[in-house]
Amino acid sequence: MDEAETSKKGKLIIARHHESDWNKLGIWTGSRDVHLTEYGFRKSEEMGNLIKGIRIDQAFASTQIRSYETLLGMEDKAHDLDVPVEFSSALNERDYGDFTGKNKWEMKKQVGDEQFECIRRDWNCPVPNGETLKMVYERAVPYYINKIVPLVLEGKNVLVVSHGNAIRALMKYIENVSDEDIRNVEMIFGCILLYDIDDKGKMISKEIKKVESSVNA
């Protein structure tokens, strides 16, 4: 694909929501709807400064409030507040089932380091009454391919604000990460990914921008 063809396409911009009330407490949030902290709002605005000057034609967010609040903070600093937004549960955070509402660090002591990392990072590690990362992939990636990729290919700059595991699922597809290697992929707080993508929504190039963040999650 030559440079001229790539330049006709838009940018795919992916951001993780910033600190929520439960992130601050080290609690597994998952499908629970929790607001940003004051720190999270402030850092969301800083994230908006990272993409200042990039016209956003369309935004996507999960149906969870921490995602939308992050989007609003970013837009407030970077853009007018008239960017169309589509919300979808396909972009929601992984459902941690019976672990939801429990303190992560206390749980780590109970299950041990290896099992804890398996629960948090592995491709297909089950949690009681919850989702695996594979299950998140199976809802997030088709939505990305069908709804988001066509807009980027039309030349639109698209901002997606979602959650750590939903974004890891997208990264697995976009960057061709193996089932084994996905445990080494993390989407940290305050990080923004800017992609050029091909016709299948796969990565051509990637730029990472981030603000300094300290989150207990």
Q: What is the pLDDT of residues 133-152, one digit of tens each?
A: 999 999 999 999 999 999 99
Confidence band for 116, pLDDT divided at 50, 70 and 90: very high
Residue 40 lies inside a defined structural domain of this protein: yes
Question: Do the domain assignments include residue 216?
Answer: no
Between residues 48 and 79, which one has the greater pLDDT? 48
What is the pLDDT, as a whole number, of residue 82? Answer: 77
Nearest alpha carbon to residue 203 among 174, 180, 176: 174
How many structural domains compose the chain?
1
CA-nearest of 141, 130, 146 to 166 is: 141
Q: What is the Cα–Cα distance from 41 to 129, expressed in whole angstroms?
A: 31
Residue 163 belongs to some domain of the structure: yes
Q: Mean of the pLDDT values across residues 17-21?
A: 96
Determine, yes or no, domain membership for 108: yes
Tell me what pLDDT residue 8 has.
85
CATH number of the domain that 113 lies in?
Answer: 3.40.50.1240
Strands in 58-61's sheet, in edge-to-edge order, are: 85-87, 58-61, 158-162, 12-16, 191-197, 203-210
Query: Which residue is associated with the tokens 């600093």?
Result: 77
Give the chain's mean pLDDT: 94
Do the beta carbons of residue 126 and residue 132 sit within 8 Å?
Answer: yes
- The range of the structural domain enclosing residue 172 comes to 3-210
Residue 190 has pLDDT above 70, yes or no: yes
pLDDT at 45 over 90: yes
Predicted TM-score (pTM) above 0.75:
yes
User: Which of the following is catalytic: 17, 18, 79, 163?
Assistant: 17
Asked which of 5-14, 47-56, 128-137, 183-192 is least confident by mean pLDDT, the reply is 5-14
Structural domain contains residue 215: no
Is residue 161, in this structure, part of any structural domain at all? Answer: yes
Catalytic residue among 19, 45, 69, 93: 93
pLDDT higher than 70, residue 81: no
Annotation says 93 is catalytic: yes
The whole-number pLDDT of residue 79 equals 60
37 within domain boundaries: yes
